[in-house]
Amino acid sequence: MIRPALFPPALLPLAMLTAAAALPALTAAAAAPAKSAPVAAPVVWDKVCSRCHLTGVGPELRGRALPPEYVRTVVRGGLMAMPAFPHSSIDDGTLDNVAKYVAASRLPKPAAQR
């Protein structure tokens, strides 16, 4: 609370305008997500991608030598049953890691051939 003795009433409108002008910047800074380090691709694959791509819901991606650019495009925009994953779901650094991981992956050998 502002005490009249410490704050001249004539300056109150100016103080309110100044506070109102600063509010959008403060709100935007508070609402902006903190940048974090990209998540390791195997972690994302195991926790997100494998739920569909290793259970028959989506196609097998490992060992297909898919270009990273293609993987990024499909993840961002979706394709048929594949949902789109916007920036709010996966950041660019993590998506780059996953795209390179999928591109370099190999299809595991069947258990009988190990």
The set of catalytic residues is 81-82
Look up residue 9 and give its amino acid: P
Number of helical (H) and strand (E) elements in the chain, helices listed first: 5, 0
**114 and 108 Cβ atoms separated by less than 8 Å:** no
User: What ranges make up the beta strands (E) of 12-112?
Assistant: none
CA 12, CA 106: separation in Å to the nearest integer?
68
